[in-house]
Amino acid sequence: MSTITRILNRYKNRRTYNKKEFVDKIVRVIFMMSTILSASFIIIIIIFISLKGLTPFVTSNSGIGSVNIISFLTGNVWLTGTAFQSSLYSIGFIIVNTLFIAFLSLLISMPVGVLTALFIAKIASRRISEFLRIVVELLASIPSIVYGLFGSGVILIFVYNLAEAFGIQSRGGNSVLATVLVLALMTLPTITAISEVSIRSVNKDIEQGSLALGATRTQTNFKVILMSAKSGIFASAILGIGRALGEATAVSLVAGNSKSGPSLGVFDITSTLTSTMLEGLKETTGIDYDIRFSVGLVLMVVILLTNLILNYIKKKVGSIDVK
Amino acid sequence: MLNKRNIIDIIYQVITYLAASVGVIALSMIIFFVFSNGLKLLNFGLLVNDYHAEFYNGGIDDPIFTFSHRPISLDDKVFYSQKWGIGLVDSKDREGNPIIIIEYISGDSPLLEIYDKNNEESKEIIGIDKGFLVSKISYYDKNTSLTMYGAESMINDIESTNEIREIVFSSLGGGIRGSIITTLYLISITIIIALPIGISTAIYLNEFSSKNRLTSLLRSLIETLTGVPSIIFGLLGLAVFVPLTIRFSEATSANIVSGSLTLSVILLPIIIKSTEESLKVVPDSFRSASLALGANHTQTTLKVVLPSAFPGIMTGTLLAIGRIIGESAALIFAIGTAVKDDISIFGKSTTLSVHIWSLMKDEPANIELASTIAIVILLIVLTLNIIVKLISKRFIKEF
Amino acid sequence: MNSIFEIDNLNLHYDDFQALKDINIRIEKNKVTALIGPSGCGKSTFLRCLNRMNDLIDSCKITGEIEFKEENIYTSNYDVISLRTKVGMVFQKPNPFPMSIYDNVAYGPRCQGIKDKNILDEIVATSLKSSALYEEVRDRIKESALSLSGGQQQRLCIARAIAMEPEVILMDEPTSALDPIATLRIEELMNELKKKYTIIIVTHSMHQAARISDNTAFFLMGELIEFDKTNKIFTTPKNQKTEDYITGRFG
Amino acid sequence: MKKIALLGMIVIGVFGLTSCTSNKEDGFDKTKTVTVYTRDTSSGTRAGFMSGIGFNEATEDNSVLVDRFVTKDNTGILTAMATDEYGIGYISLASLNSTVKGLSFNGVEPSIANVINNTYELKRPFNYVLREYGDYNTIEEEQIVKAFIAFLGTIDGSDIISDKGAVSLDTNYTWDDIKGNHSICSSDNSGITIKFGGSDSIEKIAKALTESFVPKCGDFVPEHDHTGSTDGFKRTQGSEKDGDNAKHVGFASRPFRPDSEVGAPGTQGQLAWDAIVVIVHLNNELIDVTALDLKSIYDGTLSIWEEVIN
């Protein structure tokens, strides 16, 4: 028996069972703890937002009277009466505005983003696509306030002149259209980046299979590659709409912050749940402050529901996936 | 030969090019906008200077006037006082406010004798020099010369007086050194907090957890976190992390640590998601091979699986850093908006993007400096991007 | 008979599907045992039972007894990790870790807590020599294992397995992903290795089984149809199904 | 290469299209409707403006305003008036620049001189509030705050206020004259932090004041955290005076509310006036506007420019 064999046997026949299993168990518990910690934040947020956000509905708001939840969710004037002295808040029209705007912005950013991704992944040369990818990554990290700056410095003027060209008097360009354009710009990097990854991960065999059957490059790109990358593209839409619904700073600079509605004309001023929240957060107590948390609560519910619906559609779409 | 198929092909192609170019144009317009507004303020001084200017209150007794002539080399825009031997020029500071700068001071100017008025006993000479700002000069016999009236009126005022009661100087402030340092602190602390938690969560979900209801519940709770708008994270920071850090540290208000904790929560889903994606790509054969060699689960995960997932985790981290640099809505609540020069991790300060936010909130807003800071942000992100690409390239090459 | 594994009434279920039915077999020490049969017959599943790699599959349920050196390995407090150090395994596709050649071979010993550099050096050198790889890689032992060719990678995986000096090496179609020349080298290697180790090999190729093994077991639909000396199986099979298979009527 | 050329052509084409929509110079169309811009209900400028035009009920109530008004911040209104030919809004006099037209109010031009001589009526006070005497951590803090308030009343203080665009109050003594009364300023105060808060409209002035006062008073450390007028009183003598955000000095860019913001005697005062200017686009023919007209514009009675420009 060689020395090595003796040493190895010594290590192998040590009763390692307990120790190693024990280490595994400990490590598992540590990892599980951090998972529970990660998961607990959403619960903390929900509890905290609910506590604050439900206050206006269940308390008398120091004598003003509680907010009626039905009219809060369905009404079409933000506040009737004086701030801090009235409980007649409603956000029905703001919910409609928010969904309308998010939908329209996705309508622009989806095709543009996906086709840009297709261009980067399949058409452009290596060098150009490398460059474009860096541009997209940079844009994803631009603070939203800068998008707001661009919106108020360029897009508002563009929309104002556009409306004039159509013979419509817009309110300084503050409009549904300006908001939609800013949000489309902001969601573009997210959609492009994620779609590109999913387009790139489409199996080469499928692509070559299509080409081998005599399809042209363009036909292959549209009929096979985009179809196969469908679920990833859908995921990018979900993230995109999340950002569109949750964006606050930039939107409040171009929306015009209307106080009644809903606003369905493209040149009409509008408001979103986030811009409404942001406007009153300067104060720190009182009903006009607490009600912003109710708006935040509604916003989270809206985002959750949208995600659920989109995920459901994604599953439906995914089940007829081209494999 | 153009047949129908070719025409359709061309139409599709044109649409693709059009869409891609719309994306490119929109994106380049933003970058153009930022650069055209902000490039002229960008210089090294901005990056390394303090935000708060150093102020001096100068006094002068029995001045001996000089009668040095105006140097010929002096630009026409400079106003010169022969009596006091000083040349002043109108300018703008980094925040766009009007200022008056000392452009020239002659060797025998009485103003060189100015002493520190706040220290009456020692009468220490301040030693003013070219480049200082004069914010005001007050007299015994007439109204104060102020910055708002311009350099010309200030020169006229001193030329017609023999006594100066007080002259206030300052250095040029408005630098963003403090905000850059805060941003770097925030990135490091946030990554130190979020990366271990995020990676261990991803490992648990992907390697250790068994498929049961609890796991899928935990997973969907974490996924929900991605849908929360950042303004709500800010409120969470204000309500939970700020009091927590005040309780357990020397902090007395919102601080860098509370900001980092808040950002960590924002980043967790991003890090978890990207780590999990890269863990999924690690082939199962690695795991079986390691287990077959008598390694336990922990050894397999830490020695084989995790290193293979490393490039993916790096990319996720980069995304996370981009998010830290760009975040403002949450940080306004969780770290505060006070621009500082001496940064301590338990003190208030601002990151670059919050700095932009507070510039925009000014009346009137300073769009130039805001754009300049945006350029700095873009440059930092670009640098990090390149660094990470190099690291992962090296890593892939090595193994 | 000097047997190292004794398997009695082994049954294995994946949820509702029974993958192994009532297997009884004795594996001889220091012999090469080949497991043959058509795809999906359960031979690989059986192999993975021997070092409890099936534990990783949640839906897998096992009844019956597998005794390794007269000890049942399917008892709740049996030391699985120690078992795997004694029963090594080589997989179908070469799967070296994305580390250096040295680190790949030293991986197993390190996991057992061996840290002494000299000992590790010696283990690595010995293992690479026994797997006939040493001469080819001695100058680039610190380079990435992924830079090796497929055949070299598989020999590295064998070196990695024998670094632990196991008593048994399980091989799951080790040459199916390799070209004929690389296959030949691995087969030569197995001939060397069987002097020291017990080898159990799953193979698709009946020629390979005939060339290298001492004993052969034929599996069909989760059942062990026949187990005997290799030359007997290939010349005078007792079972009609075995004969049909080896004469190429199906499979 | 073909691809790059094609892409380049498209880029040029789209740029060309966008640049075609340049401003037209066909004068002011009086038949258009007025677009009303306002600050949000928490703004001190809005409070000053609404009370100045006799429309107090609109200070914190949006529902009495004309339908489809636009809510923006100070900068937003300023930039909007540079674009929107038919808009009307109001900003602080300090922000007024040449990109927009500032209107006379009741026949008086908006200028600092007219504010000082009390003829320009559209203005609001800048006020301060201190902690109650005796409610400081140390006696030094209280003395520095007292010295600071004394400094506000000097020529040196009012110079700084004027320099930042606000209208300072009349005074005739300098800091040098009174600094003998504040012996605290001759000791080293670099370990003492004084916290300032309240109105964000006064933030710039407050910062300039402390920057200049710090070297005069032993280098104490000023900490500015301006969140809004309401917090000025709340964090010095109100509900949050002992909280984490407690301040030594608070500011309000509007009068203190007589019902809820009355502090201990001698702890509140005014430091300056701020004029509010009504602004319109440069093309607008209007040069003068009355309080009554403004009220009618903001409550929606006058909605077409013709009705305003007689």
Phi, psi of C62 (to 5 degrees): -125, 135
Helix H, strand E, coil C: the string for D127-190 is EEEECCCCCCCCHHHHHHHHHHHHHHCCHHHHHHHHHCCCEECCCCCCHHHHHHHCHHHHCCCC
Q: Which chains touch A (3 or more CB pairs under 8 A)?
A: B, C, D
What six digits make up the tokens of A5? Answer: 């064999």
Q: How far apart are CA D147 and CA A21, in angstroms?
A: 71
Among A79, A128, A156, select the one facing D62 at the smallest CB separation. Answer: A79
For the cut 90, the answer to whether the pLDDT of residue B358 exceeds it is no
The strand order across the sheet containing C60-68 reads C17-28, C3-14, C60-68, C71-72
Q: Is B329–A111 a contact, with Cβ atoms under 8 angstroms apart?
A: no
Mean pLDDT computed over A280-302: 80
Among A8, B391, B282, residue whose Cα is nearest residue C97? B282
| pLDDT tens-digit map of C195-242 | 889 999 999 888 899 989 999 999 999 899 999 999 999 888 898 989
pLDDT at D21 (0 to 100)? 46
Contact: A145, B357; criterion CB under 8 Å: yes
Give the mean model confidence (pLDDT) for residues D243-259.
Answer: 87
Which H helix or E strand runs over C33? strand C32-36
Q: What is the DSSP string of C101-168?
A: HHHHHHHHHHHTT---HHHHHHHHHHHHHHTT-HHHHGGGTTSBGGGS-HHHHHHHHHHHHHTT--SE
pLDDT score for B191: 93
Secondary structure (DSSP) of C215-235: EEEEEETTEEEEEEEHHHHHH
Any CB–CB contact under 8 A between A51 and chain B? no
Per-residue burial over A59-84, b if 16 or more Cβ lie within 10 Å, else e, is: eebeebeebeeeebeebebbbbbbbb
Mean pLDDT, all residues of chain D: 86
What would you report as the CA-atom Rg of chain D, rounded to the nearest whole angstrom? 24
**Domain C3-246 adopts which CATH fold?**
Rossmann fold (3.40.50)
Whether residue D13 is predicted with pLDDT greater than 70 in this model: the reply is no
Residue of D121, D102, D272, D279 lying closest to D202 (CA atoms): D272
pLDDT digits (tens, 9 = 90+) for A239-255: 888 889 988 888 988 99
- Answer CATH for B177-398 from 3.10.580.10, 3.40.190.10, 2.40.50.140, 1.10.3720.10: 1.10.3720.10
Total-model pTM: 0.82
pLDDT for res C213: 92
> Domain locations in chain D?
31-123+275-308, 125-273
Stretch among B275-279, D120-124, D224-228 having the lowest mean pLDDT: D224-228
What integer pLDDT is reported at residue D20 of this predicted model?
Answer: 46
Tell me the pLDDT band of A93, cut-offs 50, 70 and 90.
very high
The pLDDT assigned to D24 comes to: 47
Interchain contact, B292 vs C53, CB within 8 Å: yes
For chain C, which residues make up each domain, given as ranges?
3-246
Sheet strand arrangement including C223-229: C87-90, C168-172, C198-202, C32-36, C215-220, C223-229
Which residues in chain A have their CB less than 8 angstroms from residue D234's CB? 284-285
Lowest model confidence (mean pLDDT) among A282-291, B290-299, B353-362, C143-152: A282-291
Take residue C210 and report the two structure tokens written for it: 């005939």
Which subunits count as partners of chain C given 3+ CB pairs below 8 Å?
A, B
Q: DSSP letter for B205, please.
A: I
How far apart CA C116 and CA A310 sit, in angstroms, is 57
Identity of residue B332: I
CA distances from A169 to A153, A156, A225 (A): 19, 13, 44
Highest-confidence segment of B142-151, B385-394, C24-33: C24-33
**What fold characterizes domain D31-123+275-308?**
D-Maltodextrin-Binding Protein; domain 2 (3.40.190)
The CATH number of D125-273 is 3.40.190
Cα of D182 to nearest chain A Cα, Å? 36
Q: Does residue D6 register a pLDDT over 80?
A: no
D4 touches chain A (CB under 8 A): yes
Taking residues A91-100, report their average pLDDT.
94
CA distance B387 to chain D (A): 28
| Residue A323, pLDDT score | 32
How many CA atoms does the CB half-sphere of A132 hold within 13 Å? 28
What's the pLDDT at D268? Answer: 93
The topology (CATH level 3) of B55-170 is Pdz3 Domain (2.30.42)
**Cβ contact B228–A300 (<8 Å):** yes
Q: Which of C79, C113, C122 sits opposite A11 (nearest CB)?
A: C113
Which of B27, B269, B360 is closest, CB to CB, to A135? B27
- Of the candidates B27, B231, B367, the beta carbon closest to that of A274 is on B231
**Domain ranges within chain B, ordered by starting residue:** 55-170, 177-398
* Cα separation, B268 vs B381, whole angstroms: 20
Give CA A311 to chain center in angstroms.
13
Q: Give the residue among B176, B99, B171, B172 at the shortest CA–CA distance from B371.
A: B176
% residues pLDDT > 70 (chain A): 93
ipTM above 0.90, yes or no: no
- pLDDT at B242 exceeding the cut of 70: yes
How many Cβ pairs within 8 Å bridge chains A and D? 104
CB-CB under 8 Å, C56 with B303: no
For the ranges A51-65, B11-25, C115-129, the one whose mean pLDDT is highest: C115-129
**Which residue of chain C comes nearest to A12, CA vs CA?**
C82
pLDDT at residue A322, as a whole number: 37
Summarised one tens digit per residue, pLDDT across range D40-67 is 887 888 888 999 999 988 988 888 899 8
CB atoms B231 and A277 under 8 Å: yes
- Mean pLDDT throughout B188-196? 93
> Are D and C neighbours with ≥3 CB pairs closer than 8 A?
no
Residue C98: its chain B contacts at CB < 8 A? 307-308, 399
Query: Which member of B252, B361, B363 has the closest CB to residue D95?
Result: B363
- B117 contacts: CB under 8 Å, gap ≥ 6: B57, B58, B59, B166
* Confidence (pLDDT) at D165: 81
Cross-chain CB nearest to C81 (options A5, A7, A17): A17
Mean pLDDT of chain A: 84
